[in-house]
Amino acid sequence: MTLKHKLIPLVTATVLLTGCGGWTWLDGSRVDSRSLESALDQCQIEDKRDLLEQAEDELDRQLDLAETDLAKEEAKDAFARTERQINTEIRTCMRKRGLKPS
């Protein structure tokens, strides 16, 4: 896996998980840091970040063990599914708390 392919999911996940990309209220207004911290805590963002890191470690392991291009693609697909699931859980939870990515 090239550095570019490894960094893109990490950057995306970091933006979603930490709010670096920003979160706003559903009406588009700015969210205060206290409300954001509360929502991030309620949505267990740290736990989700850990899950994503574990999934990435597993991807690296599977890529190292893969003997065929097909096995590598299957590992990448499995990681992509896990990443989408985690990101969907984050967006859904944050939306329930009245927030959306800005």
Residues 80-89 have a mean pLDDT of: 96
Cα–Cα distance, 93 to 36 (Å, whole number)? 12
Taking 90 as the threshold, does the pLDDT of residue 15 lie above it?
A: no
Could you tell me the pTM of the whole model?
A: 0.76
- Scanning the chain, the segments in alpha helix (DSSP H) are 3-18, 33-42, 45-65, 69-96
The pLDDT confidence band at residue 19, using thresholds 50, 70 and 90, is very low
Which residues, at least 6 apart from 77, have a Cβ–Cβ distance to it below 8 Å? Answer: none
Cα–Cα distance, 102 to 98 (Å, whole number)? 12
| β-pair partners for 87 | none
Rg (CA), the chain: 16
Query: Of the ranges 3-7, 48-52, 74-78, 90-94, which one carries the lowest mean pLDDT score?
Result: 3-7
The pLDDT confidence band at residue 89, using thresholds 50, 70 and 90, is very high
